[in-house]
Structure 1
Amino acid sequence: MLPDFTELSLNLAGLCRTTAQFIRQEATRFDRSKVEHKGVHDLVSYVDQETERRLVAGLRQLLPAAGFITEEGTVGPDSQTEEFTWIIDPLDGTTNFVHGLPVYSISVALLHRHELVVGVVHEVNRDESFRAVRGGGAFCNDEPLHVTDVPDLNSSLIATGFPYKDFGKLADYLQLLGAFMSRSHGVRRLGSAAVDLAYVAAGRCEAYFEFNLNSYDVAAGILLVREAGGQVTQFLEDGDPLFGREVVASNGRVHVEVQETIREFWRV
C-alpha cells in the first residue's frame, strides 16, 4: 500500500523547518576557515554535512523502506531502491551561506518508481516552506501557489545560475544572458537553484534556466513548478530535466519563447 503522500509532505515540511533552525543557528557563528572544497569553486561545510545527516535520520523514520540520493554522500549510492528514493540537497546555496548572503535552502524530493511525488524547498532565512504533491497542488506556508499568467518574454522576469566549475560553454552562456537581458524585465541570479524554481512556482519570476545541474539541485523544484501550473523541460527539448543536467522552468506561457531564445545561442 502506498503512503499518504499529502501527509508525508506535511511531515517532510516539518522536518525541513526544524532542520532549518539548525542552519540559521550555525549561520550566526560560522567560521569560513572551516570550509572545504569539493572542486575549485565547489564549497562544502560541516553545516551541509550535519544538515544532511539530520535529514537522513528524519527521513528514515518517515519512510523506512526508501533509499537516498544525497549531495554530500552521507548515504552511499547502494542505498537506492526501485520503489522509493529521497533526493536531498541539505544546503542549496552553500556559497551564499559561507559569504553571509541570505539566500539558501533545503531541498528534498521523493521519487516513486522514477516519478516525483513529493517535494519540499525550505527557504531558510525567510522561513518559507514550499511543498508539492503530485496531483495535489503546490503551496507556500499552506497558501496555494500558482505561476503567473504573463504572456510574453518581454514582460517577464528571468532567473538563472552562473557556471562556477565547468566553463566550456561560457561564451554561449554570456551571449544567451545578453539576449535575455535585452528581451525581458531583467535577469536575476540568486545562487540557489531550488529557490529559483520555487520562485517560478510562486509567481515571483516567469522563467528560470541553468545548466550543469544535479538531480538534488532541482528535484523538489521541478515538482513545485509543475504542480503550480508551470512547465519544466531541458533546454531544447522535452527530455527529462531531473537527470538531464539542464533545466528550463516557466509559467508555461513563455516557455516556447524562452526555448527559442536559448536555441539561438546554445551549441549542443
Structure 2
Amino acid sequence: MRSTTPSPALPVDLAAARRVAVDAAEAAGALLTARVGGPLGTRPKGTGGDVVTELDTAAEDLILARLRAAYPGHRIIAEESGVTDGVPGQDMVWLVDPLDGTNNVAIGMPVYAVGLALCAGAEPVLGVVHDPVSGQTWSAVRGKGALGPGKGLLTLPDHPRPGRAKNPVLAWTQGHQVKSDDLVAFALRTALEKQCARMLQLWAPLVAWTMLARGDIDGIVGYLPEIVDLPAGALLAAEAGAELRRLDGSPYELGIDRPASELGFVAARPDLLDRLLETTTTIARPDGRFHVAF
C-alpha cells in the first residue's frame, strides 16, 4: 500500500536522486548485457553454493563511481564491496545490488536485475529496479507512487488475472544464510504451496518485486531475506499498491537497521493478504521466532 506518510525534509532532491539512480542502474544493465555471454570469472561466495562473478564487481564499480560523484557525502552499502562511509553526521544511505540473480547468470538463465535504494537513516525513500533483459526500469519515491518503464504511474490491478482469484501465483525468497535443511523454510513453503497454483523461486527477488507491482504475480513471501535488495523492490511494490505485513501478521516496518528475523514478510494484493497470513501466522510468532510441528 502506498505510504500516506510523506518523507521528512531531506538534504537531497529525490527527483534528482531518482535520475542519478536510474541512469546508474541502466548503465550497469548495459554493461551486464554486453558481457553476460562471455567468460564470467565465477568464484564461490560463502559455503551455500552461491557464486560471485566479475560482472558483479564491474557493475558495482560503475554504480559506486556514479553515486560517489553525485553524492560524495552519502554512505553506501553494496552487495560485494560492503560499506563505504560517508561524511560524519550525513544520514543518507544507498543500498546497491549490482546483479541480483548471479546464480541464474552463472547457469545461463536470463533472470536478473539491478537494484538501488536510497534510505534516510533506516527508512527507504527511493527505489530503482532495472531489468537488463527487457531493458525496462521501475522506480518509486516514498509517498509519491511508482513509475513504470513508460514513465506512467504504476498501479497494481484491482482484480487478479482470470483464474487466479482462488489459485494465486506466488514467489518465494529467502536469504543466503538459509540452509537446505531449515525446517521453518520447509514448513512455510510447503504450507503456501498448498494455497496457490504456482510457487516461483526465481533467485532474483528484484525481478519478483517488479512482477508483483505489475500484477503478473499475486504475492511474495520472504523468509530471512537479504537486506541489500529488499528496500528497492519492497518500496516499488508498496507504492504500486501491494500490502506488506510481517509473517506473524503484524505491521511491517522496513528498516535497514532491523535484524533478518524481523524482515520476513508477506507482500500481496490487498484482497489476498489475509488469506496468505492465515497460513504464515500458524508458523510465525510475534516474538520473531517460529513454531514448526511435523
Quick one: distance in 2 between partners of 1:241 and 1:170?
24
Percent identical residues = 23
1:149 maps onto 2:158 in alignment: yes
Quick one: distance in 2 between partners of 1:65 and 1:116?
17
Residue identity matched to 1:68 = I
- Alignment match, 1:3: 12
Instruction: List gaps (5 residues or longer) in structure 2.
Output: 1-9, 285-289
Residue identity matched to 1:134 = R
Contact 1:145 1:202 in 2 (8 A): yes
Quick one: distance in 2 between partners of 1:77 and 1:97?
30
Contact 1:150 1:254 in 2 (8 A): no
Quick one: distance in 1 between partners of 2:22 and 2:187?
39
1:158 maps onto 2:170 in alignment: yes
Quick one: distance in 1 between partners of 2:88 and 2:168?
39
**SS where residue 270 of structure 2 aligns?**
coil
1:218 maps onto 2:230 in alignment: yes
1:260 maps onto 2:288 in alignment: no
- Alignment match, 1:249: 267
Aligned pairs, number: 267
CA shift in 2, pair 1:111/1:184, >3 Å: same
**SS where residue 253 of structure 1 aligns?**
helix
Q: CA RMSD in A?
A: 2.5
Residue identity matched to 1:63 = Y
Quick one: distance in 2 between partners of 1:110 and 1:37?
25
**SS where residue 39 of structure 1 aligns?**
coil
1:26 maps onto 2:35 in alignment: yes
Contact 1:92 1:106 in 2 (8 A): yes
Contact 1:153 1:258 in 2 (8 A): no
1:116 Cα offset (Å): 1.3
Quick one: distance in 2 between partners of 1:81 and 1:34?
38
* 1:112-167 Cα shifts (integer Å, max 9, x gaps): 13221111011121111011111211122113211233479624211113666423
Contact 1:122 1:128 in 2 (8 A): yes
Residue identity matched to 2:231 = A
- Alignment match, 1:109: 117
CA shift in 2, pair 1:51/1:19, >3 Å: same
Taking structure 1 as the reference length, what is the TM-score of the superposition?
Answer: 0.89
Contact 2:42 2:52 in 1 (8 A): no
> 1:124-139 maps to which residues of 2 (within 5 A)?
124-139=132-147
Quick one: distance in 2 between partners of 1:48 and 1:206?
30
**SS where residue 149 of structure 1 aligns?**
coil
Contact 1:15 1:58 in 2 (8 A): yes
Taking structure 2 as the reference length, what is the TM-score of the superposition?
Answer: 0.81
Most deviating of 224-233 and 77-86? 77-86
1:214 Cα offset (Å): 2.0
Quick one: distance in 2 between partners of 1:188 and 1:15?
29
CA shift in 2, pair 1:183/1:6, >3 Å: same
**SS where residue 231 of structure 2 aligns?**
helix
CA shift in 2, pair 1:79/1:212, >3 Å: farther
Work out which of the residue numbers 2, 15, 23 in structure 1 matches 2:24: 15
Contact 1:68 1:79 in 2 (8 A): no
Quick one: distance in 2 between partners of 1:257 and 1:204?
19
Contact 2:74 2:86 in 1 (8 A): no
Work out which of the residue numbers 202, 209, 212 in structure 2 matches 1:197: 209
Residue identity matched to 1:126 = S
Residue identity matched to 1:201 = A
- Alignment match, 1:49: 57
